[in-house]
C-alpha cells in the first residue's frame, strides 16, 4: 500500500508556544488515520500545516511522495488535500449546490453567467457517487447538522480532494449522525480516498480508524493499529498517566427542591410549540439528567429555565421562588450557573480576551466591580486561576477566545461557571469537544458540587455520560418527557426506544418507572420524587 501523506519532522512555533515539536507522521492511501490527543496537543495545528494554513517552522510535507510547500489552502487543494473544519464554513441562505460549487461554478454563455442547472447536476452526480443522499436544491440553513457536514465533504471532493482532513467531525452530531458519518468514511476509503480524522474520542478512533497516532504536548508519542490497541492504552498515551474509565459516584443524598419546572410550554422562533407541558424538579445534592436526540426540545427547555427564552405558559421556580420572568442576570446573581449548548454563540465573546470573558455575567458585582468600575487586577487573577485550574491551553489569559480550540473554549466556560460558587448548575453538553483527561476532571467536579449539596441539571447526548452521572434521568421526545427512569436500571436499548418515542415494556406513564418520575410541584418531596438508596430499594432511582 502506498503512502498518501508524509509529515517529516514538522515543528511549528508561535510566540511563546511550540505547538508541534518535530512530528513525523505517515498516512497510507485508502485508509482512515485517526489523529488522537487532548485539547491543545497540536492536532489541528499539524493539520493546518498540511492544509497550507500555517507554514511550518521546520520540517517537510510530502504528498504522494513528492515534497510540497503550501503557501495557502489553494496550494493544498491543488495538490489534492481538502479540510473540513470543526465549525462549518457554509453560507446558510444559499443552496447546497451553490455552496459546493462556490468559486468554481460551471459557466455558460461564454463564461458570462453561472450555469445553475449544470451545477445542480454535477452536485447530484457527486452525491450519488458517494451515496450521500443530499438534495442540491435544499437551503443549507434548513438541513440538519449532519447534512451540512456532508455538504462540506462534497465541497472538498468537488475540488478534487484525494486526502480529506476532518477536524473533530462528530463534535456536533447526534449518535445516529455519527453512525451515518462513519458509513460515509467507509464508502470514501472504499473508493480510494484517504481520511485523516482529528479526534479526542477513544471509542470513535478505535471504531473508525485503521491506524491511530497520538499527540501529547505537541509531540508524536506513538502510532498503533486500531485493532490491536485498547482504550486504556490510548488514554494513557494521551494523558501521560493512567485514566479512570468509569465515574466513581457515591450514593446521592438529596435535599430540598432547588429547581421546579411545572407545566412548561415553549415555542421556537417559528412559533411552533417545541416544549409541551414539561414538569420535573431538581433537588439539592442530586444530578437530574435529561437525555434525548438533539432537537427534541431540550435546547428551548433549558433556555426557558435559564432566562434566555420566555415560556408560553408554566412556571420555573428556583429556591422556592417563582423566577419565570426573571432576567438571566438576576438568575446568575441568585446562584444559577449555566454551561450553554453553543459555546461560541452563548458562552463567549470571541473577539474578547479571556480576562474579559472570565467575568461575563458578573462584571457588575464584587469582587470584579467596585464603585461602578471594574477591578482589573481581581479580574485578571480570576481569569488566570481558571486557565490554570481547568488546564486551558495555551495558558495565556490575554489570548482571545477565538484563538482557542473548541475544547479549550469549553474548558474555560466550564471553569467560569463552576467558579461562580453556584447553588444550581445547568450543564448542557458540558464535555462536548473535550478530551478524555478534561472530561474526567469535569465529571469529578460536577459530582463534587452534587456531593456538596448543590443541584445539577445535566443535558447530554452522550448516553454513557448522562447515565453515569445522573441520579434520575428524564428522556425527552418531541418536546415531552417520555419518562423519568433509574439510570442504573435502564438499558441502552430501552433508552434508545424512549428517545425514539416508544415505551419499552415496564415503562410509561402507568408503569412503576413512570410513577418514579412523578413530580411534586409544591416544593415538598413526595415518595415518587425521592431518589432511592444504592441498594435498589423502591422509591425512585438508585
pLDDT tens-digit series, residues 219-229: 999 999 999 99
Decide which of 193, 222, 239 is a domain's last residue.
Answer: 239
Q: Are residues 171 and 254 in the same domain?
A: no
User: What pLDDT, on the 0 to 100 scale, is given for residue 371?
Assistant: 85
Four-CA torsion 50, 51, 52, 58, nearest 10 degrees? -10
Residue range 392-448, pLDDT digits in tens: 988 999 999 999 888 889 999 999 999 999 999 999 999 887 778 788 888 989 999
Task: Indicate if 364 and 271 belong to the same structural domain.
Answer: no
- The verdict on 68 and 167 lying in the same domain is yes
Please check whether residue 440 lies inside any domain of the structure: no
134 and 261 in a common domain: no
Into how many domains does the chain fold? 3
Residue 13 has pLDDT above 90, yes or no: yes
Share the mean pLDDT of the chain.
89
Measure CA 361 to chain center: 23
* Residue 436 maps to a domain: no
64 within domain boundaries? yes
Note the pLDDT of residue 511.
56
Edge-to-edge strand ranges of the sheet holding 336-339: 336-339, 424-428, 455-459, 287-291, 472-477, 480-485
pTM of the model: 0.67
Is residue 444 a part of any domain in this protein? Answer: no
Q: Which residues pair with 17 in a beta bridge?
A: 14
- Does residue 528 sit within a domain? yes
Domain span holding position 404: 341-421
Q: What distance in Å separates the CA atoms of residue 504 and residue 482, rounded to the nearest whole number?
A: 11
Backbone angles phi, psi at 53, to 5 degrees: -75, -30
Each residue of 333-356: pLDDT tens digit?
999 999 998 898 899 999 999 999
In this structure, the number of other CB atoms found within 10 A of the CB of residue 358 comes to 25
Does 497 have pLDDT greater than 80? Answer: yes
CB of 310 closer than 8 Å to CB of 481: no
Find the CATH number of the domain harbouring 115. Answer: 3.40.50.300
Burial of residue 471 (number of CB atoms within 10 Å: 0-12, 13-18, 19+): buried
Is 212 in contact with 28 (CB distance < 8 Å)? no
Contact 262, 279 (CB under 8 A): yes
Q: Which of 179, 211, 239 is the last residue of a domain?
A: 239
Burial 79-118 (b: 16+ CB within 10 A, else e): bbbbbbbbebebeeeebbbbbbbeeebeeeeeeeeebbee
Do 204 and 275 share a domain, yes or no? no
Q: For residues 123 and 542, which has the higher predicted lDDT (pLDDT)?
A: 123
Q: What is the pLDDT of residues 257-272, one digit of tens each?
A: 999 999 999 999 889 9
- Pseudo-torsion of CA 200, 206, 210, 213, nearest 10°? 40
> Are 468 and 462 in contact, with CB atoms under 8 Å apart?
no
Residues 365 and 468 in one domain: no
pLDDT at 111: 83
Three cell numbers at 278? 414539561
In a domain, 438, yes or no: no
The reply to whether 200 and 320 lie within a common domain is no
Asked whether residue 262 falls in the same domain as residue 211, the answer is: no
- Tell which residue, 128, 149, 148, has the closest CA to residue 138: 148
Assess whether 330 and 376 both reside in one domain.
no
- Bridge-based pairing state of the strands 369-370 and 373-374: antiparallel
> Is there a domain that residue 109 lies in?
yes
For residues 60 and 180, state if they share a domain. Answer: yes
Digit-coded pLDDT (tens) for 165-193: 999 888 767 666 788 888 899 999 999 99
pLDDT in tens, 285-311: 999 999 988 789 999 999 999 999 999
On whether both 361 and 298 belong to a single domain, the answer is no
Dihedral sign (CA 485, 490, 494, 495) = positive
pLDDT tens for each residue of 197-235: 998 888 889 999 999 999 999 999 999 999 999 988 998
- What is the b/e burial string over 213-226, where b = at least 16 CB atoms within 10 angstroms of the residue's CB? bbbbebbbebbbeb
Is residue 313 domain-shared with residue 400, that is, in the same domain?
A: no
Contact 137, 256 (CB under 8 A): no
**Quick check: is 442 in a domain?**
no
Amino acid at each position: 500500500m502506498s503512502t498518501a501523506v508524509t509529515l517529516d519532522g514538522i515543528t511549528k512555533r508561535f510566540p511563546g508556544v511550540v505547538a508541534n515539536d518535530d512530528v513525523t507522521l505517515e498516512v497510507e492511501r485508502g485508509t482512515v488515520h485517526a489523529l488522537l490527543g487532548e485539547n491543545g496537543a497540536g492536532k489541528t495545528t499539524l493539520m493546518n500545516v498540511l492544509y497550507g494554513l500555517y507554514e511550518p517552522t521546520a520540517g517537510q510535507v510530502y504528498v504522494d511522495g513528492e515534497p510540497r510547500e503550501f503557501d495557502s489552502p489553494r496550494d493544498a487543494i491543488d495538490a489534492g488535500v481538502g479540510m473540513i473544519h470543526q465549525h462549518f464554513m457554509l453560507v446558510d441562505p444559499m443552496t447546497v449546490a451553490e455552496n459546493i460549487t462556490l468559486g468554481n461554478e460551471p459557466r455558460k454563455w461564454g463564461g458570462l453567467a453561472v450555469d445553475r442547472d449544470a451545477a445542480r447536476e454535477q452536485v447530484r452526480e457527486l452525491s450519488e457517487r458517494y451515496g450521500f443522499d443530499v438534495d442540491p436544491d435544499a437551503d443549507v440553513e434548513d438541513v440538519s447538522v449532519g447534512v451540512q457536514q456532508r455538504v462540506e465533504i462534497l465541497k472538498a471532493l468537488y475540488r478534487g480532494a484525494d486526502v480529506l482532513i476532518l477536524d473533530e467531525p462528530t463534535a456536533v452530531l447526534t449518535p445516529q449522525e455519527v453512525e451515518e458519518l462513519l458509513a460515509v468514511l467507509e464508502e470514501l476509503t472504499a473508493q480510494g480516498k484517504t481520511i485523516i480524522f482529528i479526534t479526542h474520542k477513544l471509542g470513535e478512533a478505535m471504531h473508525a480508524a485503521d491506524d491511530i497516532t497520538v499527540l501529547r504536548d505537541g509531540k508524536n508519542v506513538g502510532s498503533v493499529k486500531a485493532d490491536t490497541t485498547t482504550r486504556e492504552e490510548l488514554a494513557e498515551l494521551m494523558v501521560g498517566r493512567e485514566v479512570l474509565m468509569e465515574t466513581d459516584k457515591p450514593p446521592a443524598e438529596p435535599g430540598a427542591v432547588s429547581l421546579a419546572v411545572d407545566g412548561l410550554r415553549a415555542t421556537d422562533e417559528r412559533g411552533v410549540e417545541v416544549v409541551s407541558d414539561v414538569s420535573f424538579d431538581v433537588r439539592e445534592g442530586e444530578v437530574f439528567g435529561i437525555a434525548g436526540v438533539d432537537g427534541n426540545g431540550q435546547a428551548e427547555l433549558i433556555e426557558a429555565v435559564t432566562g434566555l427564552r420566555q415560556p408560553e405558559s408554566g412556571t420555573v421556580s428556583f429556591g422556592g421562588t417563582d423566577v419565570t420572568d426573571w432576567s438571566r442576570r438576576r438568575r446568575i446573581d441568585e446562584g444559577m450557573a449555566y454551561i450553554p449548548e453553543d459555546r461560541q454563540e452563548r458562552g463567549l465573546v470571541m473577539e474578547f480576551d479571556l480576562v474579559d470573558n472570565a467575568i461575563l455575567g458578573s462584571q457588575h458585582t464584587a469582587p470584579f466591580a467596585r464603585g461602578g468600575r471594574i477591578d482589573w487586577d481581581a479580574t485578571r487573577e480570576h481569569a488566570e486561576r481558571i486557565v490554570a485550574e481547568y488546564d486551558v491551553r495555551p495558558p495565556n489569559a490575554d489570548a482571545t477566545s477565538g484563538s482557542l480550540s473548541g475544547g479549550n473554549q469549553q474548558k474555560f466556560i466550564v471553569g467560569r461557571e463552576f467558579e461562580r460558587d453556584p447553588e444550581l448548575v445547568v450543564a448542557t453538553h458540558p464535555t462536548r469537544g473535550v478530551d478524555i483527561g478534561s472530561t474526567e476532571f469535569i465529571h469529578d467536579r460536577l459530582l463534587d458540587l452534587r456531593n456538596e449539596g448543590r443541584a445539577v441539571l445535566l443535558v447530554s447526548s452522550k448516553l454513557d455520560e448522562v447515565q453515569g452521572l445522573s441520579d434520575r434521568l428524564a428522556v425527552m421526545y418531541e418536546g415531552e418527557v417520555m419518562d423519568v427512569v433509574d439510570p442504573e436500571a435502564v438499558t441502552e436499548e430501552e433508552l434508545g426506544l424512549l428517545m425514539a418515542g416508544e415505551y419499552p415494556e415496564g415503562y410509561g406513564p402507568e408503569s412503576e418507572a413512570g410513577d418514579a418520575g412523578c413530580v411534586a410541584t409544591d416544593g415538598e418531596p413526595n415518595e415518587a420524587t425521592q431518589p432511592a438508596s444504592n441498594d435498589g430499594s423502591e422509591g425512585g432511582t438508585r
